[in-house]
Amino acid sequence: MTNTNQKLVGRRNFFRTAGLVGMGGAVLSTVGTRSANADFSSTAPFDDPIGIFTAALIAEDLATTFYYNGLVGGVIQDSKLAGSGGSVTSGQTLNTNVNYLQAALSQEIAHANLLRSLLGIGSAGQDPVQTFYIPAGSFDTLTPFLALLDALESAFIGAYLAATRQFAYMAGQTQSKGGLYANPDRTHTYSATELDYYAQVSASILGVECEHRALGRVIGAFRPANNLTYESTDGITNVFNGPTSAVAALTPFLTPSTGPAYSFQTALANQASVSLPSTGGLPPF
C-alpha cells in the first residue's frame, strides 16, 4: 500500500471512530488539487472547507466538554480557583481565574455554533461526536488540568493556523481558476471572497484560543504567561487529512482506552449554570 493510501485509510478509520461514515463524501468535495509549488510541508491530501469545518466542530465540542468538566470537577477547589469547599457558585466566586474558565466555556460553545451553521447541522445533538475520552485524573487537581488545557489549546491554535493558511490558499486558487471548492451535494460553490473570509474568521477564532492558553498559564502562575513571540503550529500542517493533522491530534479523545467517557450533551445541557457570557461578534464580511 502506498503512503498516500495509508493516509486515506487512516482518514476513513477516523470517520468510522467518530461516526462520520455518512459524511465521507463531504471531504472529497474539492475539485482541483494543491499545486506542486504550494509549500505546506505535508504530502497528505489537501483539506477542503467541509473537512476543516467538521474537524473544527469536533475540536470545539471537545473544548466545551473539557471546560465544563473542569468547572464542576474537583480541580475547582484548588486555592488558585474557587478554594477548598468552593465551587463556581460558592466559595471564592470572585476569583478571576475561575472567570477565565467560565468565559472560555461560552466562547467554545459560540465557535461550535458557528461551525454547526456552516455545516448545515440543525442541532448539537446531531454533531458527529457526542462522547469524549479524557485521561483519568484530568479534572481532579490543578497540575494535570492545566497541562491538558495547554496541550489542547496548543493543538487548537495549530489547527486554526493551518485553517487560516489553507483557506487563503483556496481563495487564491479559486480567484486564479486553479481550483473549485463546493459543498458535498454541489449545490454551492465557495467563492474566493467566501474562502478569504473563512481565513479571516479562522484567524479571529485563533486569537481567542491564544487567550485561553495564556490565561491557563496565568492560573498556573507560569511567568511570563505570554511566553511566545509567535504562536506555534504545534506540528500541525493540515486540519483534516494526514498524520500531522488536527484530526490525528483529536483521535485519542475519541478512543475509550484514553480514559473515562465524558458526555458532550451533559456539558451543553448544564453549561448555563457555570459559564459566563463574552462579547463581540464575527469580523464583518
> What is the per-residue pLDDT across 105-121, written as a single tens digit (0 to 9) for each?
999 999 999 999 999 99
**Would you state the pLDDT for residue 113?**
98
pLDDT band at 7 (very low <50, low <70, confident <90, very high): very low
**Would you state the pLDDT for residue 94?**
57
Q: How many CB atoms lie within 10 A of CB 89?
A: 10
Question: Strands 261-263, 131-133: parallel, antiparallel or unpaired by DSSP?
Answer: antiparallel
> What is the per-residue pLDDT across 216-237, written as a single tens digit (0 to 9) for each?
999 999 999 999 999 999 999 9
Burial class (CB in 10 A: 0-12, 13-18, 19+), 88: buried
**Would you state the pLDDT for residue 33?**
40
User: What is the rounded average pLDDT of the residues 83-94?
Assistant: 76
> What is the per-residue pLDDT across 10-46, written as a single tens digit (0 to 9) for each?
334 444 444 433 333 332 233 334 443 345 666 667 8
**Would you state the pLDDT for residue 186?**
83
Asked if residues 127 and 264 have their Cβ atoms less than 8 Å apart, the reply is yes
pLDDT band at 93 (very low <50, low <70, confident <90, very high): low
User: What is the rounded average pLDDT of the residues 127-131?
Assistant: 97
Domain ranges of the chain: 49-273
Q: How far apart are alpha carbons 212 and 167 in whole angstroms?
A: 23
Nearest to 27 by CA among 51, 6, 43, 3: 51
pLDDT band at 260 (very low <50, low <70, confident <90, very high): very high
